[in-house]
Amino acid sequence: MDVADLGLPVDVPSTALFTDQYELTMLQAALRSGTAARRSVFEVFTRRLPDGRRYGVVAGTGRVLDAVENFRFDADVLRFLREREIVDETTLQWLAGYRFTGDIWGYPEGEVYFPGSPVLRVEGSFAECVLLETVILSILNHDSAIAAAASRMASAAGDRPLIEMGARRTHELAAVAAARAAYVGGFATTSDLAAGFRYNIPTVGTSAHAFTLLHDSERDAFRAQVDSLGRGTTLLVDTYDVTEAVRAAVEIAGPELGAVRIDSGDLLLVAHRVRRQLDELGATGTRIVVTSDLDEYAIASLAAAPVDAYGVGTQLVTGSGHPTASMVYKLVARAESDDESAPLVPVAKKATGGKTSIGGRKWAARRLDASGTAEAEVVGTGPVPAALAGRQLLVQLVKGGETVAREPLDAARDRHAAARAGLPLSATQLSRGEPVLPTEYLRTGSGT
């Protein structure tokens, strides 16, 4: 069974306090003014991609669905809010029965996005939608940033597999989310067992330098590892002298040695020397795994090296310099009154400094050129043009408060590979540049 199908909750009683206080104070004021029940549409989007990035990657959608399902104000949470006098008793009574009953649409997980793409649309009463802002953004901003970095690294690695090994470089729960996002972005395995347990991601791991230092000699350490894990194991060969370590590794494990790992030094130079030595010793099938503070640029620089796999930690779990996707959650339409049949009116913030937004409920489609390659991200309000009807990007994720689009994580991973392959070739360039697709806005109606 794929545990990603189970909708496992986070390891806290509820997700309701994964929020900012002003969400609750807005709720209290809206309840008092009589506007809390107004039908509303919120959208998640980013105004710009991180500097130099050509595309973004939607990740964390499955975790958002879990968070919405577990957004419950239980007795302990309500007691905390009451004791801190964060909201009044009327609001507490409303929160006690909170269940999201609206609809959520979004780009499916693994899809790519661009500035202005409505990656998530949340519809319902103002009261039930506004409470979800912070938890949705915290998940999508983190996971999408990690997935984008992972995607760039996967592009640089080509057919060579990537190992996620950043758990020790970030918060323990963030590490699990990062491993999940990295898998969506193209990584093959993770060293984090919690990620393997929760999301069924393949896990790997053998030994660190401490294991070698524990033994009286490097040969003793290698022999102990091979005796325990078999000849197919990966031996770490840069604790002392790499040349001597490779010789000892092959003598002990034989030509059936699975792999050697290099974690320091000039990786390009050392990898060539180790490959030559392995071949001379008859271990032509032994793979070379490199680690040591890799990012997409370092991986690309090793493209010509005889490397078989890469292990990436710090740069991955920090988004390779961009730890957030800078997504925002904005009200774009709301009903004219509390009447359920009242029409929606577009609303938008007007501000200087690049923080403007476009009102109206959006749709999005990707226009293709004659060869089938994406050429534009089209975002619009009102009816969808017939020519784009079959290219729409948003799918329904939640209907009437019930999740309708849960899927195995491998589906998101496969979707991302296909989406990235459908972009122009320049999408995979690591040099600085603008988004690979322009975002075109099309208004064909009121957008309500």
pLDDT in tens, 227-255: 999 999 999 999 999 999 999 999 999 99
Over residues 144-149, mean pLDDT: 98
Give the angle 57-292-110 at the CA atoms, nearest 5°.
Answer: 10
Contact criterion met (CB below 8 Å) for 246 and 218:
no
Residues contacting residue 407 through CB under 8 Å, at least 6 positions apart = 4, 5, 62, 108, 109
Contact criterion met (CB below 8 Å) for 257 and 249:
yes
Residues contacting residue 110 through CB under 8 Å, at least 6 positions apart = 57, 58, 59, 147, 184, 411, 412, 413, 414, 415, 416, 417, 419
pLDDT bracket for residue 350 (50, 70, 90): confident
CB neighbour class for 332 (10 Å; exposed up to 12, middle 13-18, buried from 19): buried
Give the angle 364-370-372 at the CA atoms, nearest 5°.
Answer: 60
- For the four alpha carbons of 166, 300, 119 and 107, in that order, the dihedral sign comes to negative
Contact criterion met (CB below 8 Å) for 41 and 331:
yes
Structural tokens at position 213: 């230092």
For residue 329, give the nearest of 146, 124, 148, 136 by alpha carbon. Answer: 136
More confident residue, 391 or 349: 391
Q: Given this model, what pLDDT does residue 444 score?
A: 67
Report pLDDT digits (tens) over 182-194.
999 999 999 999 9
Q: Given this model, what pLDDT does residue 448 score?
A: 58
pLDDT bracket for residue 433 (50, 70, 90): confident
Please provide the size of the chain in residues.
448
Give how far Cα 42 sits from Cα of 131, 225, 346, Å.
Answer: 11, 55, 11
Q: Given this model, what pLDDT does residue 340 score?
A: 80
Report pLDDT digits (tens) over 18-32.
999 999 999 999 999
Q: In what order do the strands lie in the sheet with 402-403?
A: 344-346, 327-335, 39-46, 120-125, 103-106, 395-399, 402-403
Distance CA 246, CA 252 (A): 10
Residues contacting residue 7 through CB under 8 Å, at least 6 positions apart = 65, 66, 69, 403, 406
Looking only at the bridges linking them, the beta strands covering 112-113 and 56-57 are antiparallel
Q: Given this model, what pLDDT does residue 8 score?
A: 47
Q: Given this model, what pLDDT does residue 353 score?
A: 66
pLDDT bracket for residue 2 (50, 70, 90): very low
Fold of 206-307: TIM Barrel (3.20.20)
Q: In what order do the strands lie in the sheet with 162-164?
A: 189-190, 162-164, 309-312, 287-290, 259-262, 234-236
Lowest mean pLDDT segment, chosen from 129-133, 185-189, 309-313, 427-431: 427-431
Residue 47, phi then psi, degrees to nearest 5: -80, -20
Side-chain half-sphere CA neighbours of 402 within 13 A:
2
Share above pLDDT 70 across residues of the chain, in percent, rounded to a whole number: 95
The residue extents of the domains of the chain are 8-146+322-443, 206-307
Q: Given this model, what pLDDT does residue 225 score?
A: 98
Report pLDDT digits (tens) over 376-416.
999 999 999 999 999 999 999 999 999 999 999 999 999 99
For residue 103, give the nearest of 129, 83, 79, 82 by alpha carbon. Answer: 129
pLDDT at 440 over 60: yes
Report pLDDT digits (tens) over 313-338.
999 999 999 999 999 999 999 998 88
3-state class of 120 per DSSP? strand
Q: Given this model, what pLDDT does residue 431 score?
A: 86
Contact criterion met (CB below 8 Å) for 161 and 288:
no
pTM, two decimal places:
0.93
Residues contacting residue 63 through CB under 8 Å, at least 6 positions apart = 139, 143, 177, 180
Report pLDDT digits (tens) over 87-105.
999 999 999 999 999 999 9
Mean pLDDT rounded to a whole number for the chain: 94
DSSP 48: S
CATH code at 8-146+322-443: 3.20.140.10
pLDDT bracket for residue 3 (50, 70, 90): very low
Give residue 375's Cα distance to chain centre: 24
pLDDT at 131 over 60: yes
